[in-house]
Amino acid sequence: MNVFITGASGFVGSHLVKALSADKAVKRIYALYRNEDQIAFLPKVNPVIGDLEKLPEIDLDVPIDLVIHLAGYFRNESKKLCEKVNLQGTKNTIAFCRNNGIKRILFYSTINVDLKTKGNYATTKLMAEEEVRKSGLEYMIVRPALIYEGRKGSLGKIIRYVEKLPFVPVFGDGNAKEQPIHIDEIVNLTVAMIKDFKPGTVLYAAGKEAMTFREMINIIARTMNKKAKILTIPAKPVHAVLRLFEKAGIHIGISSEQVAHMSEDLAADMNETLKLYPVELKSFEENIRRER
């Protein structure tokens, strides 16, 4: 099997490239990198230097069985960048598939599309999902929850707050549900999907259990033999102010969608996913303790 991966240097992409490099079912991995410094020098990896904007112009002279479209933009609420990367980037990936005779695409969306108050990230991802559906390609859409590993990403920030601060700030009352999934689990799930592709399915990728932010923070504290204090911050006024800033092109390190994410339930029904792909999911506490 030959696969092509966008977002190969990202958090999920770098782990996935490593896993596929060691998998006997995969013959070649064509990984899209913006520059040579990002290349993973691993067996089977064939780097392709380029970006989503010029992706339709890339002509591969080898058959590709599947494109895994991981590339996305979420760091702030820039409408222009979200539209360019998440929406137009997906359109360009579809064009690349058509130009190279590739029939299958595995598209990474986000659980944030379920938010009641979507920001530009969730909105453009939902629009990109529709582009994939109507593309004429055989597709699978994956909606991952918060992905974590050690002290990386959003969860890593919470872990550092528990470690160093007398309290952990939380937008909302702390009772919104989250269902984070460890990077190893989502990589295993993705590899299973690649090997047993189910066209036309939309699946969630979330952890073993849903928990409130209060519960999640208390679990993290317990693994450190500490007690965590939570400082609740009203979500609605902060969200409204951030939306005004974002419309004015001002970004201060946290987006309105991140506030919505912390103050709305984002639990997932994993029954269908695990029925199709019975990968092992460990408890959040077990994963956190394993990495300490």
Nearest to 204 by CA among 122, 273, 156, 287: 273
Rounded to 5 degrees, φ, ψ at 143 are: -115, 90
Q: What is the pLDDT of residues 67-96, one digit of tens each?
A: 999 999 887 668 899 999 999 999 999 999
* Whole-structure pTM value: 0.94
CB of 287 within 8 A of CB of 182?
yes
**What pLDDT is stored for residue 76 in this prediction?**
67
Residues of the chain with pLDDT under 70: 76-77
The pair of structure tokens assigned to 89 is 């980037």
Rounded to 5 degrees, φ, ψ at 181 are: -125, 135
**What pLDDT is stored for residue 11 in this prediction?**
93
**What pLDDT is stored for residue 214 in this prediction?**
95
Query: CB-hemisphere CA count at 13 Å for 80?
Result: 6
**What pLDDT is stored for residue 250 in this prediction?**
84
CB atoms within 10 A of CB 269: 11
Q: Sketch out the chain's domains with CATH numbers.
A: 2-290 (3.40.50.720)
Q: Residue type at 17?
A: V
Nearest to 107 by CA among 78, 64, 83, 72: 72
Residue 53 DSSP one-character state: T
Q: Residue type at 217?
A: I
**Euclidean distance between CA atoms 11 and 8, whole angstroms:** 8
- Residue that the structure tokens 């991981």 belong to: 70
**Euclidean distance between CA atoms 72 and 83, whole angstroms:** 10
**What pLDDT is stored for residue 45 in this prediction?**
95
